[in-house]
Structure 1
Amino acid sequence: MSGTALDDVTAIRAAAAPLRSPQDLDPLVRRIGDARIVLLGEATHGTAEFYRWRAELTRRLLAERDFSFVAVEGDWPECHRVHCCVAGAPGAPNDPRQVLWGFRRWPTWLWANEEVAEFAAWLREFNATGDGPPCGFHGLDVYSLWESLRGVVDYLHEHAPGRAAAALQAFRCFEPYGEDPREYGLSAELVPENCRDEVVELLTAVRSAAHTDTVPGLDPAFVAEQNAEVVAGAERYYREMVRGGVRSWNVRDTHMSDTLDRLLRAYGPESKAVVWAHNTHVGDARATDMAASGMVNLGQLARERHPDDGVVTVGFGTYRGSVVAADHWGGQVRRMPVAPARPGSLEALLHEAVPGENSLYVFGNDGADQWAKELLGHRAIGVVHRGGGYVPTVPSARYDAFVHCDETTAITPLHPWEPEEDAEAQTYPSGE
């Protein structure tokens, strides 16, 4: 080992705070302070420890720091059903697990898993025993084109039947593509006709159908407008996706950032948000090679849009373990091994400094984290797990803090899944 690497390991060991119980999160809670937005990442979409530690920190932020809602890398309509459940909305199911079981778009396991079900059950009880507005659970993502479109049609039929024609016109425009958004994207690329004009009319119709409700996140007009924004975002996303390049990524993360801002406005000027998403979304893109490719992300946009509100970003990583993923897009979900991290990577250095332990690192401590200002490979695993993928990262610029879980285990999906593969897999960042 070189002298520089040895110095880094020594510095990391000195900076590491053991992470064994919720009370060990105290340094991070102090760092968050009065921040309005806290973004909590994950190096994979299928690691139990990431979900559990995010949930533990979120419980503390809701209970101790008066945070208003949790916003996740999930679909708006499905997550809104969870929100209605945990908020105790009239007519909503009582069991969050039942609602999460209803998640059907692949990859279902991101939110339909035991770890999220446990947190959602806690959140429902927390809201039931509180005396203020319920803490929400909302989806930020852009993928639910058809379900969101149906939601707008239903809303206008009920609340503004005179404007429902715009929704039906948009529905008919998308209908020939058989609910396959990629088919729409390919068609829009090959022929000049597309559904952009219909989507503009749809947004206008929804925004004109005013309705007021005093419960944040449950106002039918707000829900419908967000569904219309999803339709607009998805239409742009799938047009850009077939062209390749980074523009579809930027459309998606800008949509998530816009949704977060709309939620903050809906919950009021004193509202605070906790965000759960992949590291590739919450960690500032400017501290990675994403910036050189022209990519932006949710973490960067949050810092740029809310410079005075306080934005704290927490990354998560692991050295080795197991993960739930698939070997190709749309494939069967299974538990897969996560091989030991590449030598010299962030995860390998943290493992060498504190082997076998979970540890917390809060950056910005008077030069004590010089090691975190170096450019290091940082592992990313998406919903597809194959090959090797590391994002060049300056940790203390990408994140304000980092949680390292040295050896991790796979989440437990609610839906059926296959047993562990025999062969070890490396990692490939796909479908974050």
Structure 2
Amino acid sequence: MSVEIIEAIKKDAIPLKHKEHFNFKALLDASKKAKYILLGESSHGTSEFYTTRAELSKTLIKDKGFSFIVVEGDWPACQQVNRYIKGYEHDYKNAREALTAFGRWPTWMWANKELIDFVEWLKVHNQGLPPEKRVGFYGMDVYSLWESMDEIIKYLEKTDAPELETAKKAFACFEPFNRDPQLYGVSGSFYREDCKEEVIQLLTELTLKKKAHTSYYEEGKLNLEVNALVTANSENYYRTMVTHDNESWNIRDRHMVEVINSIATYYGEAAKGIVWAHNTHVGDARATDMADEELVNVGQLLREQEGNENVFIVGFGTHRGTVIAADEWGVDFERMLIPPAQSGSWEDFMHQANPHDKVLLFHKTNRAVFNKKIGHRAIGVVYHPQYEHYGNYVPSVLPERYDAFIYINSTTALEPLEVEEVVL
């Protein structure tokens, strides 16, 4: 099996760069019908994944008319970047300052030097364009419960909206938990002391009356709508994660798709979106052992919603290098070594085919060769390189999980920015 796969990679892989320039033509041709292009990563701390996604996203925006980028980050923090690149925000002098809005651990995911140039590029690209044509940058994650409630209260106070009292009641319900999601989760799961009813009432009122809301700043209605979604889904997520880890995963990924849909509706029927997230979110869960545990993810849900032809998924991987990660949740990050890929893994086969950076497109003529369940490395924000063979390889049928794969043989760690960090 391995010889056949390695020979097929040698035959079909395309160099990632030509004379130091990225070679995206074949990938762009294959994805030309897609409404959504999902760009993965096999770690949250690899420099080349960020810079390569940035260059591909620039091309999609400039040449293919993509309208927005949605990332695996918090909505309120990403809104600060969005307002900066669209020219709405004047509190930040540059992209570096805007990225310091990412104060939640793990801050390095978005507060890093690799993103600075891309954020500045987005700002320059948007200059001179009418507001409806400006490319947006948004977060789709579920974690910002308290920050999103703060934004809702601020908005309703500014607009003197009738839902303000309901929002304050919901906010007051959460106050005893001191912005500690673990404390709230334990209370809700084991003691039935939760704020579910208050949150549902708030979301219902905001949804029913959303057309009546006035917007006192740019994209205000979208901001209110998504922060309400975050509040409702985050409450459910934190209450569920204590006792049902698998279901909390599903709540999170379904929430991500809800946010993508809200953004797409805001931009209009012809809008096209780029999604940046870990391979475990963008690569179709049905092609992995996640399906055995009844886990779903963004890639699967979008394919089911839009049809496979309208969703193009690109996985990313590396054979060896360095990475930014932590050895336990909430502690300081470290620059860690990524050992050479495990023998018989997807990354090992890509390396054996030739140790060069490359793009591999999956299509009808090579699908049968690659249609095997193969271990594919995944590194999270918590990582133990010495033990990675115990759980860092996800059995995957690659041509069903992705439409294309970008392989970078040797990678380097991200360069985090210094920010004031909050651990939750």
Instruction: Name the TM-score class by shorter chain.
Output: over 0.9
5 Å-filtered alignment, 1:307-322, equals: 307=307, 310-322=310-322
Q: In the alignment, which residue of structure 2 is the partner of 1:429?
A: none
What's the Cα RMSD here? 1.8
> Alignment identity in percent?
43
Residue by residue over 1:359-387, the C-alpha shift from the partner in whole angstroms, topping out at 9 and shown as x without a partner, is 000110x4234332111000000000112
* Worse-superposed segment, 183-192 or 297-306: 183-192
Which whole-Å CA distance do the structure 2 matches of 1:166 and 1:309 have between them? Answer: 43
Q: In the alignment, which residue of structure 2 is the partner of 1:243?
A: 243
Runs of 4+ aligned residues of structure 1 deviating over 3 Å after TM superposition are 129-132, 211-215
Q: In the alignment, which residue of structure 2 is the partner of 1:335?
A: 335
Residue pair 2:285, 2:300 contacting (<8 A) in 1 also: yes
Which whole-Å CA distance do the structure 2 matches of 1:108 and 1:245 have between them? Answer: 23
Q: Secondary structure at the match of 2:105?
A: coil
CA drift at 1:400: 0.2
CA drift at 1:88: 0.7
Equivalent residue letter for 2:213? H
Q: Is 1:404 the equivalent of 2:407?
A: yes
Residue by residue over 1:8-56, the C-alpha shift from the partner in whole angstroms, topping out at 9 and shown as x without a partner, is 2111111110012444111001111021000000000000111111111
Structure 1 pair 300–37 and aligned structure 2 pair: CA distance change class (3 A): same
CA drift at 1:224: 1.1
Query: Structure 1 regions of 5+ residues with no counterpart?
Result: 418-432
Q: In the alignment, which residue of structure 2 is the partner of 1:97?
A: 96
Which whole-Å CA distance do the structure 2 matches of 1:195 and 1:249 have between them? Answer: 20
Q: Is 1:7 the equivalent of 2:4?
A: yes
TM-score by length of 2: 0.93
Q: In the alignment, which residue of structure 1 is the partner of 2:379?
A: 381
Q: In the alignment, which residue of structure 1 is the partner of 2:37?
A: 38
Residue pair 1:15, 1:369 contacting (<8 A) in 2 also: no
CA drift at 1:219: 2.1
Which whole-Å CA distance do the structure 2 matches of 1:15 and 1:179 have between them? Answer: 51
Equivalent residue letter for 2:6? V
Q: Secondary structure at the match of 2:163?
A: helix
Q: Is 1:16 the equivalent of 2:13?
A: yes
Residue pair 2:188, 2:194 contacting (<8 A) in 1 also: yes
Residue pair 1:15, 1:361 contacting (<8 A) in 2 also: yes
5 Å-filtered alignment, 1:154-169, equals: 154-169=154-169
Q: In the alignment, which residue of structure 2 is the partner of 1:266?
A: 266
Q: Is 1:53 the equivalent of 2:56?
A: no
Residue pair 1:284, 1:399 contacting (<8 A) in 2 also: yes
CA drift at 1:212: 5.7
* Worse-superposed segment, 222-231 or 205-214: 205-214
Q: Secondary structure at the match of 1:290?
A: helix
* Worse-superposed segment, 145-154 or 220-229: 220-229
Query: Structure 2 regions of 5+ residues with no counterpart?
Result: none
Which whole-Å CA distance do the structure 2 matches of 1:101 and 1:410 have between them? Answer: 19
Residue pair 2:73, 2:141 contacting (<8 A) in 1 also: yes
5 Å-filtered alignment, 1:6-405, equals: 6-20=3-17, 21-89=20-88, 91-130=90-129, 133-207=133-207, 208=209, 210-211=212-213, 218-307=218-307, 310-355=310-355, 357-364=356-363, 366-386=364-384, 387-388=387-388, 389-405=392-408
Equivalent residue letter for 1:116? L
CA drift at 1:159: 1.0
Structure 1 pair 377–308 and aligned structure 2 pair: CA distance change class (3 A): closer
Q: Which has the higher contact order (CA 8 A, sep 6+)?
A: 2
* Worse-superposed segment, 256-265 or 12-21: 12-21
Aligned length: 410
Which whole-Å CA distance do the structure 2 matches of 1:27 and 1:405 have between them? Answer: 17
Q: Secondary structure at the match of 2:409?
A: strand
Structure 1 pair 263–150 and aligned structure 2 pair: CA distance change class (3 A): same
TM-score by length of 1: 0.92
Q: In the alignment, which residue of structure 2 is the partner of 1:426?
A: none
CA drift at 1:94: 4.0
